[in-house]
Chain A
Amino acid sequence: MTEFPDGERPVIDLERQSLLRTLGPDDGWGLLPMVVKSFLDDCPMILESLRRSVETGDSEAVRTSAHRLKGAAANIGAARVAASCVDLEQATPDTTPSDADVLARLEAELDLAAPQLHDTVLRVP
């Protein structure tokens, strides 16, 4: 993902998604819908604990949740969501004042990716 300069990174990494389509069921969609569905299922819970940790200033919990969300997002090719987790992954008590802004950007990225992701899930047989 690092080869994209800021701003040029695609919302969805289509290369990653076509890779997932080659795995699993031989129906042209492969594993992709299932993996995206599991992301969408888990996402609200991770996001909720991330919000709470940012509010309470629990930097360690912020790092853990951000790390988890980054891995899950990168796995489904939600490239910009994953990238916007990186700053929160390095949260410290010093960064707490700005964490809320970073989280807002992350949520905006999630909103951008959501339509494509929901479309993909509709392919679940």
Chain B
Amino acid sequence: MKVLVADDDAGVRLVAKAVVEGLGHECLEATSGDEAWQMYTQHQPQVLVLDRIMPPGPDGLQLCEAIRRAEQDTHEYTYLVLLTSLTSREDMLGGIDAGADDYVAKPLDPFLLHSRLLVARRVTMLHLELSRARAELAEQAATDPLTGLSNRLRLAGELDRLHYLSARYGRHYSLALCDIDHFKQYNDTYGHPAGDKALQAIATALAGFGRRGDGVYRYGGEEFLLVLPEQPGASATAALERLRATVEGLAIPHSGSPYGVLTISVGVSSFVPDSTTDNESLLKQADVALYEAKTAGRNRVRLGTAMAADSD
């Protein structure tokens, strides 16, 4: 572990350092609140052993509070041990309340610091496992298990960000809603396992399409959404026409389709810089365009037109 010892007394630092290094940990030292904060942000120690008052800069309690605030963004956990005098019990409680995990009374007893470091190791390991598990679960929750594509959970955040950046910097982007034609009939005819395989095959084709930075999401049962940054409607439509042909070219037999194979219909909508359209209404536009593609005979791409602001 990396242990930062912050105390203005060199003698106290010598004792703490001997304990820390005796246990095989790395010891960093700070002599003031300012220096402690700077070392904390630069080295991200797992443990901080700190005196209550160390001018210039924040005192021990302010440091505890600042570190706990910073951790809300980093999801790291620093084990905070406060060095206090036995005569100031209120200070000790105030320190724990400000975010410290434990305290050791001064004069610093090497054995007590040793025991705190053992606990610190256990607690920081637990936090590490917790944050790993949390990241893994977040990843799982945002991924569709059948196709391996991102799902709507991830779409929400990513589309908001893209829309914000495009609106701010005056960039185009396009959305494409792709729906597998006559898919219910496919499932009824060939069975759900075959339906799952077809979904996977088409998902793979979609994922392989387009440019780096394009997003592919499983939007619903047999619906996929493509997010195409920096693409105006016309070039997006041309690219999607190629995608439609690629899917048709997979030649997955479908007796219930007039084309004899599985095909997709695509509805496209496009963000035009300086317009006031939000991403919600762009999704609606793509949905309307998809409906038009379906009613026009399926296996085709339709570019939607902007709706009047008061129509939705």
Contacts and interface: CB of A to CB of B under 8 A. Distances in A.
B10 A23 contact: no
Interface of A: 2, 16, 19-20, 22-24, 31, 34-36, 38-39, 41-42, 64, 67-68, 70-72, 74-77, 86, 89
Contacts of B55: 64
A72 B12 contact: yes
A71 B110 contact: no
A68 B110 contact: no
B85 A67 contact: yes
Given A70-B85, A71-B85, A75-B107, A24 B12 contact: no
Interface in B1-28: 8-12, 14-15, 18-19, 22
Interface string B75-90: 0000000000111000
Interface residues of B, number: 21
A89 B91 CA distance: 15
Nearest to B110: A23
Interface of B: 8-12, 14-15, 18-19, 22, 51, 53, 55, 85-87, 106-110
A3 to B, nearest CB: 12
A69 B189 CA distance: 87
Contact of B19 (A23, A67, A70): A23
A77 B11 CA distance: 11
Given A34-B14, A38-B14, A71 B19 contact: no
Contacts of A39: 11
5 contacts: A23-B19, A34-B14, A35-B14, A68-B9, A75-B12
A67 to B, nearest CB: 7
Contacts, number: 58
B11 A38 contact: yes
B8 A68 contact: yes
For the residues of B in contact with A, the DSSP-based class is mixed
A23 B107 contact: no
A64 B10 CA distance: 16
Nearest to B105: A74
A71 B9 contact: yes
A58 to B, nearest CB: 14
Contacts of B86: 2
Given A16-B107, A23-B110, A64-B53, A71 B12 contact: yes
Nearest to B86: A2
Q: Which of B8, B11, B15, B108 has the most CB of A within 10 A?
A: B11
A67 B83 CA distance: 13
Contacts of B19: 23
B98 to A, nearest CB: 19
A31 B14 contact: yes
Contacts of B22: 23
B155 to A, nearest CB: 57
A74 B18 contact: no
Q: Which of B10, B18, B106, B107 has the most CB of A within 10 A?
A: B107
